[in-house]
Chain A
């Protein structure tokens, strides 16, 4: 509450009030201090530095060498693998994320209809989501091994010749999707809570109007849970843009080849680069082949996409900003 004088200069504010406000600001700073330091050191500086490095050639052995737009040119024109990596990541974003959310929604719906044993089944569906990703991936790769895995054995009982799953370039991403569905429990929990939060009277009103189950779902359930669905969708997309662990471990284990003397990033993307996601390729180029400048350029491209999504999310979901929106 400033008392503004005619010329915009601040006069007549009691000294005590000014002192109190300054103290308040110091208190705020004190609370924020660790975060501010962290933000500058671990985000602000590296962010600027990535931009800088993207214009250099740097391998940690010799000092960085300015190369102008060489990295960007290479990325756009001369690196065929970038296109493959982008395509793989987009595939996962477009197919794996909706599949997981829809499956989780289905599971949650089933749980809402159960009359008894909800807690039990909820635990059953949620348990695999707790498995550490490395462990879950290794288990899946083994179980879906075309030669001696259980999946093809079961299919064989029905006379179906199972595909190569993680060893077949056409099936490797669907196999990763199956892995994601197995772990859909964490999304399911959120959607379950949202479904249970839908006010009963809305359903009762719909009943009175003579709505069938599908109509109830379309016109009552979906609109009410759409914020949560949106949240799940956007976080799912953002996570999938960073999809690394499962793809890396799956290709390493499925290739079934001892790490050659050359190094682990040899087999990433197996089979035939079908699981080579964008973050994986960035890792290979930057830390496998030591093109740190080029990796920075790749990171910048990823940033543009993620930033666009972030802006979208912040614009569309003011709910994230929390209960009160007042500034002091």
Chain B
């Protein structure tokens, strides 16, 4: 190729590179318009929710894009239309306690399934997987009856308390991660005379911080987003509603005030998104941990 290229007419080479540039320019335009379109698709809804949230009630019922008036007090109205602070408190209580309880109860089993050797370990782990994969509907009826008998319906306790007894998904996640810690670390600790509990506490836990953080994050947001559970157990006790129920029922008694509803919707979306901006790496790592290691 080199031999013939020396005397090749410059116009041809220029032409071909110009074609190449035009081609890549077209690709560039194509790719970037696709990106822009996707960006609009993903961010557009959030933008319109925001724009609607500052409109007046009447304007929210039109197809106008841009608010004629900027009613920032709609955000204040969110808190007078429903006791959102209380609902936020309920959500935080549920998510917080569930996460703490889960951590207390799930790390141990995860350790047993990954770093202890015992007969039937894998078979019993199948049970963990089974509880993870079967739909909750399979156990919901008797559970509801039980909680009714124990007098705890109308509150979030039926949702919080079971986490004191291990959460299958968390055990699964933690186990997957713990499996990847090389045996050498635990062997070294055992040589030093540590028993299993000390190994867990002193050696494993510090190393498992990212996995623990990811697992805690998953549990926290699972509880934060939970709608079915609270619907089942707290419907009749408005004071105990978490944000998910409160938002779903957010309406004037006789009609929906869309502008204020959009404000409420945005407020409910905010905490998670704000946390995401500050902890992006942890988020992505955590989600990847489930999918790729699985």
Consider the complex of A and B and state whether they touch directly, i.e. have CB atoms less than 8 Å apart.
yes
Q: Which residues of A contact B (CB under 8 A)?
A: 24-25, 27-28, 30-35, 37-39, 41-43, 45-47, 49-50, 53, 58, 60, 107, 110, 113, 119, 121-128, 130-136, 138-140, 142-143, 147-150, 152-153, 156, 182, 185-186, 189-191, 193-194, 197, 228, 231-232, 238, 241-242, 244-245, 248-249, 252-253, 256, 258-259, 264, 279, 282-283, 286-287, 292, 295-296, 298-300, 302-303, 306-307, 309-310, 313-314, 319-328
Residue of A nearest to B146 (CB): A46
Within 8 A of A (CB), among B107-137: 108-109, 111-112, 114, 116-122, 125-131, 133-137
Q: Is A197 a contact partner of B292 (Cβ separation < 8 A)?
A: yes
**Top 3 A-B residue pairs of the complex, sorted by shortest distance between their CB atoms:** A38-B165, A190-B291, A49-B142
Distance in Å from the Cβ of A265 to the closest Cβ of chain B? 10
Question: Are A143 and B109 in contact, CB atoms less than 8 angstroms apart?
Answer: no
| B134 pairs with A310, CB closer than 8 A | yes
**Chain B residues within 8 Å of chain A by Cβ, number:** 105
**Least Cβ distance of B24 to chain A in Å?**
12
The interface residues of chain A, by DSSP majority, are classed as: helix
Is B292 within 8 A of A228, CB to CB? yes
Instruction: Say whether A31 contacts B112, CB under 8 Å.
Output: yes
Q: Mark B217-236, 1 if CB is under 8 A from A, else 0.
A: 00000001101100110010
Q: Which residues of A contact B61 (CB under 8 A)?
A: 147-148
Q: Pick from B109, B129, B228, B253: contact of A35, CB below 8 A.
A: B109
Main secondary structure of the interface of B (DSSP, over half): helix
A-facing residues in B34-70 (Cβ within 8 Å): 34-35, 38-39, 41-46, 48-49, 52, 60-63, 65
Q: Can you name 10 A-B residue pairings with CB atoms under 8 Å?
A: A31-B111, A32-B108, A32-B109, A39-B166, A134-B225, A189-B284, A190-B287, A228-B291, A252-B248, A292-B145
B140 contacts A by Cβ under 8 Å:
yes
- B76 interface hit (Cβ, 8 Å): no
Residue of B nearest to A34 (CB): B105
Of A147, A191, A245, A323, the residue contacting B228 (CB under 8 A) is A245
